[in-house]
Chains A and B, each alone.
Chain A
Amino acid sequence: MEFRTRDYAAEEASSSLPRSPTDDHPLLLRPSSNQVSNQIHLHRLIDLSASNHIVRIWIKDCKAQGDFLVLGESVPGRRVDVVELKRNDFDDPLRRQTANEKDLVADVQGAAHISKRGLFSYYYDPHISQKEWGSFKTSLMQKFPASKMVSVSSISGVIIKSAKANEKSSTKVHIEELNDPQKFTEGEVKVISWLEFVERLRELKDEIRHAWGADDRVTSLKLSIKVAKLLMDTSVSEFYPTLFFLVTDVMDMLGDMITSKVVMSAPMPKKPVITGFAKLAPYMNFFHECHFVAWWAISYLELAILHCSRFLNDQPFDSLHRLTMMMRGLADPLASAYCRVYMARCAMRLRQYDIGYLITCFRDFKIILSNIILEKDSKSGDSLEKRKQLIGLMEPAIGWIMKCVFKGPFQHYLDSDILWCALPIELRRQIEDILMEFGLGTTPSDLCGNLKCISIVVHHLIEELPAEIVCSHVLEIIKLIEGSNDISFDQYLNFRLLGFKLYEVRPEGELLDAIIGKVLQVINDYDDLDSYLKVADAYFDIVLQGHMDSYLAMILDNISRRTCGRDINENELSSLQSIFIKLLAQHNDLDDLFVLKHFVEILDVLRGNTRDVVNMHILRKATRNACICEPAMIQFLFETSQALHDGIDISNMRDDHQQAVRLIIHFVEKVDYGAALERHLTFLLECRGAFGRIKDLKEALVHCSNCLAVKAIKDANKHSGFVKSCIAFSEVTIPSVPANMMQMNLYIETAEVALLAGLVSHADGLVDSAVSCLRDLFQADGSQVTVDINGIILLMQRLFSLLVALPGNPERGAVHIPKSIISFCDAQPWITPRMRTKFFCSVVTLSAALSQEKLSYHVNNEEVPGNDLIFFGDPSYYQELMSISRSVLEKLVDNIQLEKHSVARGNIALEACNCILSSFKASDETLLLCSKLIGIAKSCSNPSDKYLRSTINVFDKYSSALSKNLPVISI
């Protein structure tokens, strides 16, 4: 048996592919024509002036010349014919909205007329309104969860005991009530659970439905009135919104029942007015005659059937207006607010849309709210807290009605992509009229006068107004906010909301300057840090994007003035956090931030989680650059990381903690002191001390120090001492790396570096450490099943390839390392046959490589001789190599047989066979061994398996070489 001699240079030349240089990178991105058409962003714009509804297609962001293209050219196969637009059957998905646009144009031209009261009427989609109502309901129910117990006064006797006082005439009841209020207000207040209450209400609902179904209209109407009367009880105010929805549910049901009755009984579609009237009139009369029961409970019923009252007259808005006025008679602010909500909701179910009555509602709200606000803490008045609570309960109602106001005209404006200036002048004027109602769009002189708005109304106004309109009236809005500073809503929150709205539009130039200047001037008077921060936060983006450095400085100055020397609470911290994140997001370079006055000062104020979050942002920003070179910056980031590190709770590794860990590691990797290698090493040393709790960092430190060593090696001047210290650093650090595999990897890496530096004995020691790591790995993880076998095999192969270049130690024997691995393999019974085979093959390959007269590679250092030089012509060296190979080969077949899994067995047999074929000259011994291995493979794998067949081919060539007694040159 003899090792094959190899001529690596000739082998490489014969098997490498011919190469030719190229100019282009094959993976370089080149724009294709398809991409261009995909990138086209289509924007529709309706030319309203054109009467024949020609739709122009605006192509924005198109890189092609000219910005007006015909769609047919860019999307082949979908020709757009302008004439075709008029047809309904044309179903180009890109233009699905054509029908709506037609409606819109028709609406804009036709329906948007000013109704006889000078009000606005629009078509309104009932489905959307239903959906919106549903979501409003859900949000409100969540906002005011019903308390467990409800106290029910005897007014809601229907809940406790239904239908007992029926015999009394309703007039009598009311009069009794007036004369004897005690009985009604101070009568026994029963407490029932909320669930019982709801259950009872559901029963009532069923009763009403059954009575109606059984044609007993009077009973069902009477019960409905009773249900509506429940809303008179506002004593449990937190329960009121829930109660409101429960009751309106019943009202809606009743309304629908009456409607279906009226509509169904109207036989001819053309005559519902006459027939419907006859059918509906009795209900209306019934309700009105019941007015003395609880007139505004009746209003609920009247509203419930409002949408079918279009059969009665063409102007259901007449009754709507009357009801709006009548609601003024309801003194309880909560009850009246919600009554108006129901009115707005019912009005939305009408086919038309009118906001005149809503405007009246707002005028009334203004009076009611100012009464509440101005009410002094007198003996009759409620305390400030109670009043605030009351306004809080009314707030959703105001919001909802405000939403309704802006539904009609603005919805059209928002739904379409029409530009403001492209709107027909009529519509524009109407929108302006609405704005005027709220004190916008008037001349400045008017504004200074008596127009004092309620802050909560202003809030909802800003919330509902489209951003463009907010922008165009922004100075007036600021004045409005300035003028409305009352208990109903904090002024600063209005400023904040305005800031967010403006951010959507991003005003520019002088206007922007004026806005920010004005707002900052107003909020400058706020002593409270929290409110100042909330407002500043909202405008921060605008300030940053407008590059308004003076304002930025002003804000920071103000913040620092307010933060200095006081405790910061959680709210303020979160605002500060948001401000810092915005600052960081806006600046590409951290250096720019440090230039800012007060930046570091305010940063130091942060604490706790906020501080961590900001620190993480800073680190993320810093590590985005290629490297961090500046010592001052490195020092700052180091401190930042240290603060972050101190906050990490190792025992509880949450996601954000892991992120922090990653960021710190990333930072350490990015640090680069350039030529100051010593300083860099010191830095790594500091890191190791400072971030002791981050285990994963050690790995990065070792990589960095190895990297430093390689740098030093390349730089011939600073060679020996520094490299040694780097390697020493690595050596010392590796044992604290948690995973054995990682340790082993690092040992090998460091050994490679040491070898490169010519430190052979160091490299020897490191390789030994790597091997002992392997041992530890198995000792430690022997019981575990989840050992990464492939990883270990790869690592071992890496180690073996290092051994080729590592000079053998004549004292310990040239092959003592492979030997120790083999003996280790033998000693460990649980090493899998596959793993062992791989190790054995590696040993054989290594021996074959070492036996060559000229090694396949050397260390790139003249001071380190290869084994080919050290043991040149030493027969004992070759014998040793051969004996170790033999010892391995002897065990090989038996070992392979141990593999239980047949396919794996076949594969490793083939691998071993290939290894032998490439390592040894053909001889009877090897042929016998190989044929055994092929036999195993054949018994295990499919005969058509490619690996098997190619191995058999090679084997055939190999055996024929033996018969010719010629050396095999290539396989």
Chain B
Amino acid sequence: MSIVLKLSRSSRMYRPNELLEGKIIIKLNSSISHQGIRITANGTVNLQVRGGSAGVIESFYGVIKPVHIMNKSVEVKPSGKLSSGTTEIPFSVVIKEKGKDDLERFYETYHGANISIQYLITADITRGYLHKSLSATMEFIVESEKDSLYNRPMSPEMVSFYITQDTQRHPLLPELLSGRFRVTGKIPTQCSLLDPLTGELTVEASAVPIRSIDIHLLRIEAILVGEKYVTETSVIQTTQVADGDVCRSMTLPIYVILPRLLICPTISAGPFSIEFQVSIVITFQSELSKLQPKADPRTPRLWLALETLPLRLFRSE
């Protein structure tokens, strides 16, 4: 006896104004009677506070009341009987009611550290009091609607950056300070979700050999707790650009594929906000680094030089 949900798209990706279609596949050994089959589509923003800038009290509260995006229930079959064998029941759910202008509410699916925006579809077969009701749940992915696409400039805005011993706000190794280094490059501050993040980087000079250059993609999640925002920054993905002491004045490409589901368009809603940053981290070869215990890659170290830039992500065609 099993119940499985199958959506019309293998990618399970839908836009708010589209019909969510699919079928319920029920496999039965013997025929059963039921009191109706329902499909429920549910969208919530789950928030939780831990670590980051949250205080002791906020942490105590832990999970904050989720924000509801949608909750819709449709009966696809009235009460009756299901014969044994495989039964397929098609269904379709309107995600967004027509005429209602609440598009802003349909945030894109996102799975973060403290915030996760999730859309679920559930099938329920109610079978009276004596029998356990059957149900199946599946996540579907929502992307911003075509109509409401951000009308941002399509060409990503590139900013030039340069990293030297003078741009660092944390203490550096003495040989780095005396030897000097200079890494320059270009990186966009806006990027479409579909495109890779592309830029370039040049090591112009460095007396101390370089060990690695990495691009960290960071998320900053802010949640309104009481009257203040609790923010937390965490690393989503690290991409290595250079391995070892690369040749000087050779342009290295920055090419970062943005991970699906772990990112979403930059949001600034009332109770929460999700923003992104990109951080260029240069690790220099140093004996000291071998002695230190492991820690968060964002912790400034003596042998690291870094530059963090905001990154606005948007959905485009």
CB distance from A177 to the nearest CB of B (A): 9
Given contacts A178-B211, A182-B290, A292-B238, contact A285 B260 (CB under 8 A): yes
Contact: B283 with A331, CB < 8 Å? no
Q: A331 vs B282: C-alpha distance in the bound complex, in angstroms? A: 14
Does B250 lie at the interface of the complex (its beta carbon under 8 Å from any beta carbon of A)? Answer: yes
Closest B residue to A234 by beta carbon equals: B244
Which A272-292 residues sit within 8 Å CB-CB of chain B? 285, 288-289, 291-292
Q: A250 vs B110: C-alpha distance in the bound complex, in angstroms? A: 37
Closest A residue to B304 by beta carbon equals: A178
Does A189 lie at the interface of the complex (its beta carbon under 8 Å from any beta carbon of B)? Answer: no
Does A100 lie at the interface of the complex (its beta carbon under 8 Å from any beta carbon of B)? Answer: no
Given contacts A178-B283, A322-B253, A328-B252, contact A291 B247 (CB under 8 A): no
Which A163-192 residues sit within 8 Å CB-CB of chain B? 171, 174-176, 178-182
Contact: A178 with B212, CB < 8 Å? yes
Does A368 lie at the interface of the complex (its beta carbon under 8 Å from any beta carbon of B)? Answer: yes
Q: Is the interface of A mostly helix, strand, loop or mixed?
A: helix
User: B residues within 8 A CB of A368?
Assistant: 247
Given contacts A171-B235, A178-B212, A364-B250, contact A291 B244 (CB under 8 A): no
Chain B 232-258: CB-based contact to A (< 8 A → 1; otherwise 0): 000101111111111100111101110
Contact: A331 with B235, CB < 8 Å? no
Contact: A331 with B247, CB < 8 Å? yes
Contact: B292 with A326, CB < 8 Å? no
Does A380 lie at the interface of the complex (its beta carbon under 8 Å from any beta carbon of B)? Answer: yes
User: B residues within 8 A CB of A328?
Assistant: 246-247, 250-253
Closest A residue to B210 by beta carbon equals: A331
Q: A294 vs B238: C-alpha distance in the bound complex, in angstroms? A: 11
Does B228 lie at the interface of the complex (its beta carbon under 8 Å from any beta carbon of A)? Answer: no
User: B residues within 8 A CB of A288?
Assistant: 196, 257
Q: A364 vs B250: C-alpha distance in the bound complex, in angstroms? A: 8
Q: A329 vs B203: C-alpha distance in the bound complex, in angstroms? A: 10
**Chain B residues with a Cβ closer than 8 Å to the other chain, count:** 36
Contact: B253 with A326, CB < 8 Å? yes
Given contacts A181-B211, A331-B246, contact A176 B257 (CB under 8 A): no
Contact: A332 with B290, CB < 8 Å? no
User: B residues within 8 A CB of A291?
Assistant: 237, 239-240, 256-257
Closest B residue to A332 by beta carbon equals: B244
Given contacts A181-B211, A295-B243, A331-B243, contact A326 B255 (CB under 8 A): yes
Q: A175 vs B281: C-alpha distance in the bound complex, in angstroms? A: 12
Q: A367 vs B247: C-alpha distance in the bound complex, in angstroms? A: 7
Contact: A180 with B290, CB < 8 Å? yes
Closest A residue to B295 by beta carbon equals: A179
Does B90 lie at the interface of the complex (its beta carbon under 8 Å from any beta carbon of A)? Answer: no
Contact: B240 with A329, CB < 8 Å? yes
Q: A322 vs B292: C-alpha distance in the bound complex, in angstroms? A: 36
CB distance from A333 to the nearest CB of B (A): 9
CB distance from A876 to the nearest CB of B (A): 115
Does B213 lie at the interface of the complex (its beta carbon under 8 Å from any beta carbon of A)? Answer: yes
Does B209 lie at the interface of the complex (its beta carbon under 8 Å from any beta carbon of A)? Answer: yes
CB distance from A627 to the nearest CB of B (A): 71
User: B residues within 8 A CB of A357?
Assistant: none
Which A319-369 residues sit within 8 Å CB-CB of chain B? 322, 325-326, 328-332, 364, 367-368
User: A residues within 8 A CB of B214?
Assistant: 178, 292
Q: Return the contact of A294 from the options B210, B213, B240, B295 (Cβ within 8 A).
A: B240
Closest A residue to B299 by beta carbon equals: A179
Closest A residue to B242 by beta carbon equals: A329
Closest B residue to A186 by beta carbon equals: B290
Given contacts A175-B297, A179-B289, contact A329 B257 (CB under 8 A): no
Q: A326 vs B196: C-alpha distance in the bound complex, in angstroms? A: 14
User: B residues within 8 A CB of A285?
Assistant: 257, 260
User: B residues within 8 A CB of A171?
Assistant: 235, 237-238
Q: A818 vs B260: C-alpha distance in the bound complex, in angstroms? A: 117
What is the interface residue range for chain A against chain B? 20 to 34
Q: A153 vs B80: C-alpha distance in the bound complex, in angstroms? A: 67
Closest A residue to B200 by beta carbon equals: A325
Does A887 lie at the interface of the complex (its beta carbon under 8 Å from any beta carbon of B)? Answer: no
Q: A890 vs B209: C-alpha distance in the bound complex, in angstroms? A: 112
User: B residues within 8 A CB of A500?
Assistant: none
Does A371 lie at the interface of the complex (its beta carbon under 8 Å from any beta carbon of B)? Answer: yes
Chain A 29-57: CB-based contact to B (< 8 A → 1; otherwise 0): 00000000000000000000000000000
CB distance from B213 to the nearest CB of A (A): 7
Given contacts A331-B247, A364-B250, A371-B247, contact A179 B237 (CB under 8 A): no
Given contacts A285-B257, A289-B257, contact A181 B238 (CB under 8 A): no
User: B residues within 8 A CB of A294?
Assistant: 240, 243
Q: A483 vs B142: C-alpha distance in the bound complex, in angstroms? A: 63
Q: A328 vs B251: C-alpha distance in the bound complex, in angstroms? A: 8
Does A296 lie at the interface of the complex (its beta carbon under 8 Å from any beta carbon of B)? Answer: yes
Chain B 183-199: CB-based contact to A (< 8 A → 1; otherwise 0): 00000000000001000
With a 10 A CB-CB cut-off, give which of B210, B213, B241 has the most chain A CB atoms: B241
Does B294 lie at the interface of the complex (its beta carbon under 8 Å from any beta carbon of A)? Answer: yes
Closest A residue to B243 by beta carbon equals: A330
User: B residues within 8 A CB of A180?
Assistant: 290, 292-294
User: B residues within 8 A CB of A330?
Assistant: 242-244, 246
Does B271 lie at the interface of the complex (its beta carbon under 8 Å from any beta carbon of A)? Answer: no
Q: A810 vs B233: C-alpha distance in the bound complex, in angstroms? A: 137
Q: A289 vs B251: C-alpha distance in the bound complex, in angstroms? A: 23
Contact: B245 with A292, CB < 8 Å? no
Q: A367 vs B238: C-alpha distance in the bound complex, in angstroms? A: 28
Q: Return the contact of A325 from the options B235, B252, B256, B290 (Cβ within 8 A).
A: B252
Contact: A329 with B246, CB < 8 Å? yes
Contact: A292 with B240, CB < 8 Å? yes
Q: A351 vs B245: C-alpha distance in the bound complex, in angstroms? A: 36
Contact: B239 with A292, CB < 8 Å? yes
User: B residues within 8 A CB of A289?
Assistant: 237, 257, 259
Q: A328 vs B213: C-alpha distance in the bound complex, in angstroms? A: 12
User: A residues within 8 A CB of B289?
Assistant: 178-179, 181
Which A366-411 residues sit within 8 Å CB-CB of chain B? 367-368, 371, 380
Contact: B209 with A380, CB < 8 Å? yes
Contact: A332 with B212, CB < 8 Å? no
CB distance from A396 to the nearest CB of B (A): 21
Contact: B290 with A181, CB < 8 Å? yes
User: B residues within 8 A CB of A182?
Assistant: 290
Q: A633 vs B251: C-alpha distance in the bound complex, in angstroms? A: 71
User: B residues within 8 A CB of A175?
Assistant: 238, 294, 297
Closest A residue to B11 by beta carbon equals: A278
Q: What are 12 contact pairs spanning A and B, CB under 8 A?
A: A174-B238, A178-B283, A291-B239, A294-B240, A326-B241, A326-B255, A328-B250, A328-B251, A329-B242, A330-B246, A364-B247, A364-B250
The 8 closest A-B pairs by CB, nearest first: A331-B244, A288-B257, A329-B242, A325-B253, A182-B290, A292-B238, A331-B246, A295-B240
Seen from chain A, the residues whose Cβ lies within 8 Å of a Cβ on chain B are 171, 174-176, 178-182, 232, 285, 288-289, 291-292, 294-296, 322, 325-326, 328-332, 364, 367-368, 371, 380
- Besides A178-B211, A291-B239, A322-B253, 7 more A-B contacts (Cβ < 8 Å) are A179-B297, A295-B241, A322-B255, A325-B252, A328-B252, A329-B241, A329-B246
